[in-house]
A and B are shown apart, each in its own frame.
Chain A
Amino acid sequence: EPEVTQTPSHQVTQMGQEVILRCVPISNHLYFYWYRQILGQKVEFLVSFYNNEISEKSEIFDDQFSVERPDGSNFTLKIRSTKLEDSAMYFCASSDYGTYNEQFFGPGTRLTVL
C-alpha cells in the first residue's frame, strides 16, 4: 500500500541553524501539507501546497519557514533559523483531490532544537 515517507525520523539541531525536513508524498497525489505537534499540544496546520505554490499558510508559517517541491517526488520544509519553540513533531500529508479527499500522513520527523 502506498504511503507517505519522511526523513529523518529525528533531527537534533542547535538554535539558529537551518534544518530541512523531507517528505515523499504518495506518487499520484497533487496536494501537500505540513502540520506540526508540539509535545502535549494539538496537531496544527502549517501550510498547504498545490501546483507548485502555497495555497494556504497559518500564522505559525512565518518568514523563517519555506516549502519546496524540488523534483517530482520530494516535498521539503525548511526552517531557516531554528528557535527553541520550533521543537515539535512535524507531519507531512498528501491527498489526491484536496478538500474532499483523505489526507494521508507520514510518520513524522521529531525536531529537537537545543
Chain B
Amino acid sequence: AQSVSQHNHHVILSEAASLELGCNYSYGGTVNLFWYVQYPGQHLQLLLKYFSGDPLVKGIKGFEAEFIKSKFSFNLRKPSVQWSDTAEYFCAVTMNRDDKIIFGKGTRLHILP
C-alpha cells in the first residue's frame, strides 16, 4: 500500500540551527507532495507543495523542500530556525489524480530559545 515515512518523530534544535526533516514515500507513479505544519493550538496549514516543474520548492516562512524522484524523497529544510517554528510537521502525498491526502506520522519540532 502507498505510504509516507517521516524519519524523525521528535527533533529538538536551538535557534539559528539548520533543519532538515526527512520524508520518503512509496509509490511509483505520479505524485503531488506537500508539507503541512500545525502550530500549537492551530489548524493544519500548508507550508509548501510540489506538483511539477522545479523540484526545489520554496514555501512560507523560509522553508523549502526538494523532490528527488530517484530517492522517492521530499525533505524539508530551513537554514536557520526560529523559536516560532516550534510545531508539528507533516509530509503528505496525493497519488496520480487522486485527491485524498496520505499523511506521514508527523515530526514534532521543538526549538529552544
Q: B63 in the interface, Cβ–Cβ < 8 Å?
A: no
- Contact indicator A58/B103 (Cβ below 8 Å): no
Residues of B close to A25: CB separation below 8 A: none
Known: A100-B32, A102-B49. A107 touches B101 (CB 8 A): no
CA separation between A106 and B36, bound complex, in Å?
Answer: 13
- Contact indicator B42/A107 (Cβ below 8 Å): yes
- Contact indicator B102/A102 (Cβ below 8 Å): no
- Contact indicator A45/B102 (Cβ below 8 Å): yes
- Contact indicator B106/A42 (Cβ below 8 Å): yes
Q: 1/0 per residue A77-114: CB within 8 Å of B?
A: 00000000000000100010011101111111000000
Known: A42-B106, A102-B49. A95 touches B99 (CB 8 A): yes
CA separation between A77 and B54, bound complex, in Å?
Answer: 38
Q: Which residue of A lies closest to B42 (CB)?
A: A107
Known: A3-B43, A4-B43, A106-B43. A56 touches B100 (CB 8 A): yes
Chain B positions 2-47 with a Cβ under 8 Å from a chain A Cβ: 32, 36, 42-46
- Contact indicator B103/A105 (Cβ below 8 Å): no
CA separation between A45 and B74, bound complex, in Å?
Answer: 21
Known: A100-B51, A107-B42. A48 touches B106 (CB 8 A): no
Q: B82 in the interface, Cβ–Cβ < 8 Å?
A: no
- Give the interface of B toward A (CB within 8 A): 32, 36, 42-46, 49, 51, 90, 92, 94, 97-106
- Knowing that A58-B100, A98-B99 touch, tell me 18 more A-B residue pairs with CB under 8 angstroms: A33-B99, A33-B101, A35-B101, A42-B105, A42-B106, A43-B44, A43-B101, A43-B103, A44-B103, A45-B100, A56-B98, A91-B44, A99-B32, A100-B51, A105-B36, A105-B43, A107-B42, A107-B43
- Give the interface of A toward B (CB within 8 A): 3-4, 31, 33, 35, 41-45, 48, 55-56, 58, 91, 95, 98-100, 102-108
